[in-house]
Copies of this chain bind each other. A is one copy, B any other.
Amino acid sequence: MADLTAGVVGASGFTGGELLRLLAAHPEFEIEQATSRSYDGKSVGSVHPNLRGTHPNLRFSDPEELASVDVLFTATPHGVSMEQIDRFQDAAETVVDLSADFRLDTEAEYEEWYDGHSRPELLEESVYALPEINREALPGADLIASGGCNATATILGLHPLIEAGVLDGSEQVVVDVKVGSSEGGAGGGDASSHPERSGVVRPYAPTGHRHEAEIESFLGLDLSFTCHAVDMIRGASATAHVFPNGPVSKGDLWKAYRGAYEDEPFMRMAAGGSGVYRYPEPKAVAGTNYGEVGFELDPSNKRVVVFSAIDNMMKGSAGQAVHAANVALGLNETAGLEFQGLHPVGSP
């Protein structure tokens, strides 16, 4: 039944493993190749324990020899894809890149935020993956850039306010993001070791985080952006403190968010109500491709507080990539992404 072949470059990393998991359960894709320089020849289950038994015959292979596939997902460190893009595009008609290499629109932005770009002519052609804001541009795209996790969480929270005209881009916006340890990737160094990383509230990239570029580019507004590492494994939670220029009611906000998301298969609202889980939480979406958004109004200081939560490995990375591939290739949009998540659950 699987008519399309898929490859994963960088399959031994966390994101690569998540792609293997999603593709293995996807009704339309068959995994043709999973590359890993370090684990070449080893079984995928030896690195990703959830896959032991699932892919009994699948082994990592050498990234130098790419098989020809319908879709190639590339989960490589930033900077690799721009160097290897010709090889990737030779191997597959559709390339979905999960690094930052093709997310921004202009060479100037890469010069400001990264170390420049070696293939700037591809930037205009590449399509930002997030279907909730970019669905129309995806069908038939050759090169898709899956969004950054912190950027995705922030954009999902703020985009409806821009669309609905609640914000026009001139407002003060402060975004405080909390992220889990999987963002550091496999083998994250001393700061990621369990004794040092457990129980933290650790400011990192307190200013100048590169995802700021991605957010500002997509939303057309300047923001003040700070990240904190907290004790969870998966998850990104963005809290945006927004100060609209004029009066805004709860009704206006509900209208903006419902207008944006009520037909979206992967978006849910949580804005008050009863019980333990009243607002968006990473736990509520852990392991899933869902995003949650919610808000509260602070009349004392004319502030709107917007909460958004995703699983950074899913909606913020591998899930978004598969979602975008589904849309790009005209498949059922939710194929392979139906998992509803668990309760109770840790981060998970």
- With contacts A187-B193, A307-B203 known, is A234 near B49, CB below 8 A? no
Q: Are B239 and A228 in contact (CB under 8 A)?
A: yes
Q: Are B200 and A283 in contact (CB under 8 A)?
A: yes
**Contacting residue for A199 out of B196, B206, B305, B345, CB 8 A:** B345
- With contacts A206-B305, A231-B230, A273-B46 known, is A196 near B53, CB below 8 A? no
- With contacts A52-B284, A270-B52 known, is A201 near B230, CB below 8 A? yes
Q: Is A257 an interface residue (CB 8 A)?
A: no
Task: Tell me the smallest distance from the CB of A331 to a CB of chain B, in Å.
Answer: 19
- With contacts A49-B343, A190-B187, A348-B346 known, is A181 near B207, CB below 8 A? no
Q: Pick the interface stretch among A95-103, A139-147, A296-304.
A: A296-304
Q: Pick the interface stretch among A72-80, A85-93, A125-133, A333-341.
A: A333-341
Q: Is A325 an interface residue (CB 8 A)?
A: no
Q: Pick the interface stretch among A1-9, A116-124, A154-162, A170-178.
A: A170-178
Interface residues of A in 259-289 (CB under 8 A from B): 268, 270, 273-288
Query: CA A339 – CA B42 in complex, angstroms?
Result: 23
**What residue in chain B is nearest A282 (Cβ atoms)?**
B201
Q: Pick the interface stretch among A17-25, A29-37, A63-71.
A: A17-25
Interface centre among A14, A47, A228, A279 (most CB of B within 10 A): A228
Q: Is A110 an interface residue (CB 8 A)?
A: no
**Contacting residue for A340 out of B54, B195, B282, CB 8 A:** B54
Q: Are A281 and B344 in contact (CB under 8 A)?
A: no
Residues of chain B with a CB closer than 8 A to A198's CB: 181, 194, 198, 233, 346-347
Query: CA A244 – CA B112 in complex, angstroms?
Result: 25
**Contacting residue for A296 out of B182, B206, B303, CB 8 A:** B206
Q: Are A50 and B207 in contact (CB under 8 A)?
A: no
In order of increasing CB-CB distance, the 4 nearest A-B pairs are A348-B348, A199-B347, A346-B346, A195-B344
Interface residues of A (CB under 8 A from B): 14, 17-18, 21, 24-25, 42, 46-54, 172, 174, 176, 178, 180-182, 184, 186-188, 190-203, 206-208, 222-224, 226, 228, 230-235, 237, 239, 241, 243, 268, 270, 273-288, 290, 294, 296-298, 300-301, 303, 305, 307, 309, 313, 338-348
Q: Can you give 9 contacting A-B residue pairs, CB < 8 Å?
A: A18-B343, A21-B343, A178-B230, A186-B195, A195-B233, A199-B233, A200-B282, A206-B298, A224-B241
12 further interface pairs, Cβ-Cβ under 8 Å (given A47-B275, A200-B232): A42-B274, A51-B343, A53-B290, A174-B176, A192-B194, A196-B344, A201-B230, A224-B298, A226-B241, A346-B346, A346-B348, A348-B348
